[in-house]
Amino acid sequence: MSAVDSSTLDEESKGLLRRIVERTAYRQLMAVNIRGHGLKYVTEVEEKRAITNELETALGALGTLDALYAEIGGSEMTFAVRELMERVPYPYSMLELGTCLALIDRTERLVLESYLESRSREMASIARALLDADRPGTRLLEAHLASFCAETGNRPTAQQFLNRWMSIAIVAFGRPGSPGDQRAVALGLRSRRVEDMVRRFQDELKPFVTGIGLVMPAPSSLGIEVFK
Q: What's the whole-number mean pLDDT along residues 112-121? A: 96
Nearest alpha-carbon partner for 133 in 54, 38, 52, 36: 54
**Exposure letters 171-184 (e unless 16+ CB within 10 A, then b):** bbbbebeeebbeeb
Residue 172 has pLDDT above 80, yes or no: yes
φ, ψ dihedrals at 4, nearest 5° = -135, 165
> In terms of pLDDT, which residue wins out, 162 or 84?
162
Single-letter code of the amino acid located at 15: G
Summarize pLDDT for 4-28 with one digit per residue, the tens.
Answer: 999 999 999 999 999 999 999 999 9
Which among 72, 78, 99, 64 has a CA at the least distance from the CA of 5? 72
- Span of 83-87, 112-116, 167-171 with lowest mean pLDDT: 83-87
Which residues, including other chains, have CB under 8 Å from residue 5's CB and lie 6 or more apart?
121, 122
| Residues with Cβ within 8 Å of residue 19, at least 6 apart in sequence | 180, 184
pLDDT category, 226, cuts 50, 70, 90? low
With H, G, I as helix, E, B as strand and everything else as coil, classify residue 4.
strand
Model confidence, pTM:
0.92
The type of residue at 129 is A
The confidence band for 228, taking pLDDT boundaries of 50, 70 and 90, is very low
**Residue 190 burial class via C-beta count within 10 angstroms: exposed 0-12, middle 13-18, buried 19 and up:** buried
* Segment 180-225, tens digit of pLDDT: 999 999 999 999 999 999 999 999 999 999 999 999 987 777 776 6
Nearby residues of 218 by Cβ (< 8 Å), 6 or more positions away: none
**Whole-number mean pLDDT of the chain?**
92
Q: How far is Cα 97 from Cα 84, in angstroms, rounded to an integer?
A: 20
Instruction: Check residue 3 and give its pLDDT.
Output: 85
How far apart CA 90 and CA 225 sit, in angstroms, is 23
The pLDDT assigned to 92 comes to 93
Tell me: pLDDT of 227 over 60: no
For the segment 25-57, what is each residue's pLDDT rounded down to a tens digit?
Answer: 999 999 999 999 999 999 999 999 999 999 999
Q: Which residues, in sequence order, are CB contacts of 141 under 8 Å at separation 6+?
A: 42, 47, 51, 94, 97, 98, 101, 102
**Which of 199, 196, 216 is closest to 207 using CA atoms?**
216
- Give the model confidence (pLDDT) of 139-169 as tens digits: 999 999 999 999 999 999 999 999 999 989 9
